[in-house]
Structure 1
Amino acid sequence: MKVLVAVKRVVDYNVKVRAKADGTDVDLNNVKMSINPFCEIAVEEAVRLKEAGVATEIVAVSIGEKACQEQIRTALALGADRGIQVETEGGVEPLVVAKLLKGVIDKEEPQLVILGKQSIDGDNNQTGQMLAALANMAQGTFASVVEVDGDRLKVTREIDGGLQTLSLSLPAIITTDLRLNEPRYASLPNIMKAKKKPLDVLTPGDLGVEVSKHLTLVKVEPPAERKAGIKVEDVDQLVDKLKNEAKVIG
């Protein structure tokens, strides 16, 4: 079974994100970049499927400028067999990402596609669902457990009321939640081996997709700083402030 895994280049989750002075975008100068954490979980799940003898090949794909090859190489070091970069200028919208991934699916014909449920930069949580609709494939989102049984896929997903279990027919698309697994670290020998693994570069034109924009970024600004709290002497003073200052009670 061939597994296609999407990985995205984002600001490392340990970095405090800053807005540019003019508010046009996020300041990325000298900022550490890494694989989106949810994409790391997706790669780990694919590798575990291969280790269990279920998957035969793992293809890591990323969309963006040449710099995203770094994240593809990281996925290769974690256990993916080969990589594909779809080269675009700057960031692209979730719908365009879904269309580009659909083109890769048509080209590679994987039996299973794994994506992170969302990226930590845009937090859109849209690409997996759009891709499933475009590719006309079964989908299981927010997966916390994934089990493959022949040509069926059982996905346990987290919902507001608890857990929901779906039975999907392959080929299918799943998006990963935090509790699906704990990603491993890439070892130095595997990092060295990853440099020799194949990595193909495609353009949107190769996939028959036109990159267009439907969204306009209006402004980026940091959240307002919270005011320091105060201590109250007794319950009566607390009630008074909640009623007359915060106005959260009548």
Structure 2
Amino acid sequence: MKVLVPVKRVIDYNVKVRVKADGTGVDLANVKMSMNPFDEIAVEQAIRLKEAGTADEVVAVSIGVKQSQETLRTALAMGADRAILIVAADDVHTDIEPLAVAKLLKAVIDEEQPGLVLAGKQAIDNDMNATGQMLSALLGWSQATFASEVAIDGDHATVTREVDGGLQTIKVKMPAIVTVDLRLNEPRYASLPNIMKAKKKPLDEKTPADYGVNVAARLEIVKTSEPEARKAGEMVTSVDDLVSKLKEAGAV
């Protein structure tokens, strides 16, 4: 079985995001970029399936700017077998929308014919949480989102999902789209020998035109702003004072 893993280049989760002065977006100048953490978990799970003998090949796919090569090389260093980069933008500030990403992934899947797609549940830059679901709809495949456990058994996958009320376990027919959550696994660090080997692994470069997909934006970002600063707290000396303050604030 072949496993396809989409990965996205995002601002590193340790970096404090800065909004541009004119509110048109996020400042990416001289900012450290890395693989989306949820996608990293998906790559790790795909590699574990290969190590267990369930999967034969792991293919990583990224859609965006040319610099996404670095992200794909990270996936290859972790253990993916080959990679496909679809250069869909020249400007690092251009974010390809989920529907366009889903259409491009569908085209790749039509060519590659994987038995399973493992994807992060969402990207930490736009938090849209939509690509996996859209891809499932376009393909007509089963889907299991927010996965914290995945087990493959023949032509079915048993997936434990993290839902509002706790955990939900479902069985889906393969091929399937599975979007992963944080508690699925702990991604490995790429060793230096594997980083060197990754430089020699195949990385194909494509464009949306190769797949006949239009990636023109359908959404317009009206404004980007920082969240409101949290107000300072106030110390009270007794429970009566606390109750009084809460009443004044209308909390009780």
TM over 0.5: yes
Pairing 1:139-178 to 2, within 5 Å after superposition: 139-178=143-182
CA distance in 2, matches of 1:42, 1:82: 15
Pairing 1:77-226 to 2, within 5 Å after superposition: 77-89=77-89, 90-226=94-230
CA distance in 1, matches of 2:243, 2:171: 52
CA distance in 2, matches of 1:10, 1:238: 43
The runs of 5 or more residues in structure 1 that have no matched partner are none
CA distance in 2, matches of 1:226, 1:156: 36
Where does residue 239 of structure 1 map in the other structure? Answer: 243
- Percent of aligned positions that are identical: 67
Larger deviation, residues 162-171 vs 178-187: 162-171
Q: Which amino acid aligns with 2:106?
A: K
Where does residue 7 of structure 1 map in the other structure? Answer: 7
Q: Which amino acid aligns with 1:107?
A: E
Count of aligned positions: 248
Residue 197 of structure 2: SS of its match in structure 1?
helix
CA distance in 2, matches of 1:159, 1:226: 29
Q: Which amino acid aligns with 1:72?
A: L
Residue 25 of structure 1: SS of its match in structure 2?
coil
Residue 191 of structure 1: SS of its match in structure 2?
helix
Q: Which amino acid aligns with 1:51?
A: E
Q: Which amino acid aligns with 1:125?
A: N
The runs of 5 or more residues in structure 2 that have no matched partner are none
CA distance in 1, matches of 2:149, 2:242: 46
For normalisation by structure 2, the TM-score amounts to 0.96
Query: Cα deviations across residues 137-171 of structure 1 (Å, max 9, x unaligned)?
Result: 00110111111111111111111222211111111
Structure 1 residue 60, shift from structure 2 partner: 0.2
Query: Cα deviations across residues 166-218 of structure 1 (Å, max 9, x unaligned)?
Result: 11111111000111100000000000000000111111111121112221111
Moved beyond 4 Å, runs of 4+:
none
